[in-house]
Amino acid sequence: MSKRRVLELFYDVVSPYSWLGFEVMCRYKDIWNVDVKLCPGFLGGIMQASGNKPPAMVPKKGQYMTQDLGRMAEFYQVPLKQPSDFFEVVIKKGSLSAMRFITAIQISHPEFLEPVSRELWMRIWSEDKDITEPQSILEAAKKAGMPEDEAKKALAAISSPEIKEKLKQATERALEYGVFGMPAVVAHINDKPQLYFGSDRFELLAHQLGEKWLGPVPQKSRL
């Protein structure tokens, strides 16, 4: 069997397209000969450092996104719904506290990294709920099956220098790879990192890996 390739997925729960990419990676991690590493980062820092702008801040792109998210939700089978107040939720409130919480989970309880990330996406991008208040974050952790006492410890840690630095380092590492938005997959092929931006590059990634692309919902394709 050929050597397992490492795929790093950089993501932020404020990004709906990151959710799509996240679910595809989770679906393929046991199908492809790869090791998937979930890498929470801070999209706000990526955008600022790279000089990028949120698509929704460009009027025509914002209008397109409204249509696109509905189509993508159906195609990827992810329950995406645009928040009722996009600007307030995504642009103004953002995701810094949530991403620091996810970073704390990554360090203390990595077994909950995937489900907690998913539940935070569910809150903001499916249920139109807050992800910035402490109780909101704890509710996501509870739904992910995390013990309440451990979730509270992780929440208390988000203001610590260790967690802040860890998230900063992950964001800076993404920038070093050339990341300018999320989701971003960095595939380590023949010991060289290759960047794939967006949730619609998995067919190309599969080709480069020499793996089969079975669509965004491979379990359905294999029936």
pLDDT for 2 equals 67
Domain that holds residue 142: 5-221
pLDDT for 63 equals 85
pLDDT for 221 equals 57
* Adjacent-strand bridge partners of 8: 37, 186
pTM strictly above 0.85: yes
Give burial (CB, 10 Å; 0-12/13-18/19+) of 9. buried
pLDDT for 62 equals 81
- Per cent of the chain over pLDDT 90 is 82
Instruction: Please give the structure tokens belonging to residue 167.
Output: 């998230």
How far is Cα 190 from Cα 108, in angstroms, rounded to an integer?
31
Characterize the bridge pairing of strands 34-40 and 5-11. parallel
CATH for 31: 3.40.30.10
How far is Cα 163 from Cα 45, in angstroms, rounded to an integer?
15
| Single-letter amino acid code for the residue at 67 | Q
Q: What's the whole-number average pLDDT of the chain?
A: 94
pLDDT for 223 equals 42
Q: Using the Cα atoms of residue 131, residue 135, residue 140 and residue 141 in order, give the sign of their dihedral.
A: positive
How far is Cα 158 from Cα 96, in angstroms, rounded to an integer?
10
Instruction: Please give the structure tokens belonging to residue 213.
Output: 């692309």
Q: What is the pLDDT of residues 120-132, one digit of tens each?
A: 999 999 999 999 9
pLDDT for 208 equals 95
What's the total number of domains in the chain?
Answer: 1
Q: What is the pLDDT of residues 100-114, one digit of tens each?
A: 999 999 999 999 999
pLDDT for 186 equals 98
Parts of the chain with a pLDDT under 70:
1-2, 221-223
